[in-house]
Structure formats: structure tokens, C-alpha cells
Amino acid sequence: MALLEVKNVSKVYSKSKKNKGGSLTALDDVSFTLDKGEALGLIGPNGAGKSTLIKCITGLATQTSGEITINGYDTKKQRVKSIKKVGAIIESPDMYKDWTAMENLLYLADLSISKEEGLDKNGVKERVESLLKLVNLYDRRNDKVYKYSLGMKQRLGIAQALLSKPEFLILDEPANGLDPEGIKEIRDIIRHLAKDLDMAVLVSSHNLSELQLTCDRFLIIKKGKILADIKADDIVKGGTTVVIQVDDAVKAIDVLKSEYDITARHEGDGKLIADTEIATGDITKTLILNGVTVNGITVKENTLEETFLSVTEDKKKDTDKEFLSANGTAIPTEDSETGKEDK
């Protein structure tokens, strides 16, 4: 059984001024699962339904229909049990800035886990110290939070979310506004939690290049619908782009078409772009044997960003075709907005 199961979930907001008097479907029949040891990236444009989905999972919002279970517990009928082993940072962590990291975590631990788990002061302190070491803040544990950088605050927020030893962690834009070093630190922590500690992690982010380095799987959502559920390995396996620099572009295009049935695009100055998985050595050899000088050849693997744009563009074309077929004409549409409960 998957740790998280989302089955046919829809969320409809009733009439409001923001929706111009009409109802608004923020989530539309969303279904997916998430297992322990897996990091899942949730991506989509603003207004796609990401934040609404996260709030439904954590019980901050209630779905209109469908079912969400965590560890087998229904989030609507058994909310307390379902979120008992869930940690989350939604938007940004909040701390007492005039307190140290140690003071903040000890206080929160006293409120949340000390009585429930029967930990004495030494046990609580050991838990807090181990978490500060996990997020690389132990050496700065006695510094007041207002002295922390944005990246340090984000890592402290992750430590806070891990106080109850959750099996499922939800992070909303954890690397937002961080410098490259801070982004890498967050990435390393997420990978460690999923791979080494067998935790299920759901990460919502607009930073697609970083998300590709962090997650095992990706959900692409737009206008409340899941458009794709893609494994990280399949993005690379889905094809590669070869960039070839030649002296005679016209002849090279003909050779690639006749020998490999590759349709290459000429971008000027002898630069050709071709989508193929054929080995670059074979391509180079074939071109040279046919009298084409190859000045350079490189392979660029598919990226999450390219996959996202491809999926969302294809879906837009399908929607336009359906509209044209039904109405005989097309009108411009805007992405849906999900009001205050969504980004």
C-alpha cells in the first residue's frame, strides 16, 4: 500500500465575487500515489491547483469529492490519525526571531512531542540536536534566528517539520530565493530524507532545473488536472537532442535523412539540431564518409523544463482542437485562478 493515495479528488469553490459569481474548479479528478523512499515533484503554472492540493492533503482544506488517505487513514474521516506522521512547510517557516535555533526547537518539541512520546528533557534535547546536525545548523544552534540567512531559516524550518519523526514530508517552494549554495543544501537534505531515511517527500516548486536534480518522479498539473506523471529516468530516455556543427548544412541534412531518417533543423552558420538517440560516433562517421566535415557534435539530454513545456503545449493544442470542433471557432482563454487558497 502506498503511503499517500489520492483518488479522484476534486475541489470546487462556490460562487464569489472573485469568480464573477460562478463556481471554480480548483482540482479536477486528481489521482496519484506516493511511496516511502520517493521524492515527488509537483509542478505547474500559477493557479494550477498545487497549493489547493497540498492543503487538501494536510487537512487545511477539504476536497469536494474523492478520497485522500495517508498510511491508510482517511484525511476527512480520520484527520488526526492521518496527519500524525506528516511534516510540512507551506509557504515559509515561522520562528521566534529573537530566540536561538535551539530555543525554538526545544519550545516546539515541548508543545508537540514531549508528552505524546513520553520524552524527558534529555530525550527532547537529543532529538533537537540530532535534527540540527541533520540540517547542518548544529554549529549555529545558539545563534538567534534573526541572524540567519534565508537558506538557514529554510533548513531550520525543515528541522521543525521533522520534530515528530514524520514518514511523509511536504515542502512548498523550499529553495525559493536561495543562492546556489543554499539550493544545493536543501537538495541534499531532501535526497537524504528520501533515500537514506526512507521518507516520502512531496516538493512543490517552480525551479524545474533544481527539481530535476532532486526528485524521482514529477506530477505536471494545470487548471486542476494532472496532465502527466513522469519518472525522472523517463525524461532522459524520452529522447536526446544532438547539436552538430558542419561545413555543409544542406548536404548534412540530406545525408542524415537518407541514412537515418533524421530530420535535422538548420539554425544557421552550419549548426544543425536533431532529435535522435543514435550514437554521436556513428553520426560523425556517416557524415564524414559522405563528404561532410564535422567540426563538433554534442548531446543535450531532455530536461524537465522541456518536458513540462511540451506536455502543457500539447494539452493546450488538444483543448483548442476540442473547442474548434464543438464551436467552429476559438476564443482566447486565461489560466484559472484558485483564489486565496491557491498560488
Q: Where are the beta strands (DSSP E) in 104-148?
A: none
DSSP string computed for 14-38:
---TTTTTS-EEEEEEEEEEE-TT-
| Mean pLDDT in consecutive groups of 10 residues from the start of the chain, 343 residues | 94 74 89 97 94 94 96 94 92 89 94 78 93 96 95 95 94 90 94 96 93 95 95 76 94 96 93 90 96 92 84 62 42 39 44
Distance (Å, whole) CA 307 – CA 313 = 10
What CATH number labels 239-301?
A: 3.30.70.1560
CA–CA separation, 284 and 296 (whole Å): 9
Domain boundaries for CATH 3.40.50.300 within the chain: 4-85+166-235
Tell how far CA 41 is from the center of its chain: 2
Q: pTM here?
A: 0.77
For 117, half-sphere exposure in the C-beta direction (CA atoms, 13 angstrom radius) is 18
User: How much is the pLDDT for 330?
Assistant: 41
Q: How far is CA 190 from CA 39, 170, 200, 201, 258, in A?
A: 8, 10, 10, 7, 47
CATH superfamily of 4-85+166-235: P-loop containing nucleotide triphosphate hydrolases (3.40.50.300)
* Residue 266: partners with Cβ closer than 8 Å, 6 or more residues away: 249, 250, 253, 272
pLDDT at residue 16, rounded to an integer? 61
Range(s) within the chain of domains with CATH label 3.30.70.1560: 239-301
- Tell me what pLDDT residue 11 has: 96
Nearest to 280 by CA among 261, 254, 299: 299
pLDDT given for residue 185 in this prediction: 94
C-alpha cell of residue 8: 479522484
pLDDT at 237: 65
CA angle 5, 161, 147 (to 5 degrees): 150
Other Cβ atoms less than 10 A from the Cβ of 298: the count is: 10
Strand order in the sheet with 168-172: 86-89, 168-172, 200-204, 39-43, 217-222, 225-231
